[in-house]
Structure 1
Amino acid sequence: YLSIRYSERLAEAGIEPSVGSVGDSYDNALAKTINGLFKAEVIHRRGPWRSFEAVEHATLEWVDWFNNRRLLEPIRNIPPAEAEANFSAALETEDMAA
């Protein structure tokens, strides 16, 4: 059911599903990149880990930083969450004008 709903939601939003096929270089490329970045920046750099809870807490901190405080040059050195909020606000403004 989840897979069907996910596909329907992508279609509603006008988003094409992954262009890669299983096993090629495009399959899950973004997820693999993020996982690799996380491992390099958190798991390997801050280990060894004493407990699962320590890893879990570090993961939550990193995800919060990655989405809410990390500055990205391609989006004018603002955090991704701020860029998304700006984009949503612009869409709402366009809808009001129409």
Structure 2
Amino acid sequence: MLTALHHALRSRDVRAGELVHHSDKGAQYTALRFTQRLLEAGVAPSTGSTGDSFDNALAENLWSMLKVELVYWPGVTFATRAEADAALLRYIDGWYNPRHIQASLSGLSPDEYEDAYHRSQPDPHR
């Protein structure tokens, strides 16, 4: 998870105090190194209620989709953890973010939604 966090922080315009990382209370999200890295980047950690998937429904939906479309796809196997990490990043940055349409976000992909958000913000250079 730390590798994915590092990638996300490098590939996005993350501004301290403007982002919340919401997750369940899994050991990977509550680990000291993970939470320290969030705080160093100015990202507020947030966890849902123990045993309640409803307060984290969007994240649960993403993980379900990722498993169906990547992990459980016929013939997919990973020889190493590094190979699985690379496949996950390709899926998220190569398919999910740029192309996957989110009905709840006015029919935009996550990348399109993020671009629309940034265009709607006041230009700091004016």
| Fold agreement, TM-score > 0.5 | yes
| Equivalence map 1:1-98=2 (5 Å) | 2=36, 5=39, 9-10=43-44, 17-18=46-47, 20-26=48-54, 28-52=56-80, 53-64=82-93, 65-92=95-122
Q: Which has a greater percent of helix? A: 1
- Report the Cα distance in structure 1 between the residues aligned to 2:38 and 2:77, rounded to whole angstroms: 38
Give RMSD over aligned pairs.
Answer: 3.4
Alignment-derived partner of residue 29 in structure 2: none
TM-score scaled by length of structure 2:
0.49
Partner of 1:14: none
Shift of 1:38: 0.8
- Alignment CA distance shift 1:36-1:66 (3 Å): same
What TM-score do the two structures reach when normalised by structure 1? 0.59
Aligned-pair identity in percent equals 25
For the residues of structure 2 that align with 1:67 and 1:4, how far apart are their CA atoms? 21
> Which consecutive residues of structure 1, in runs of 5 or more, have no partner in the other structure?
11-16
**5+ long unaligned stretches in structure 2:** 1-34
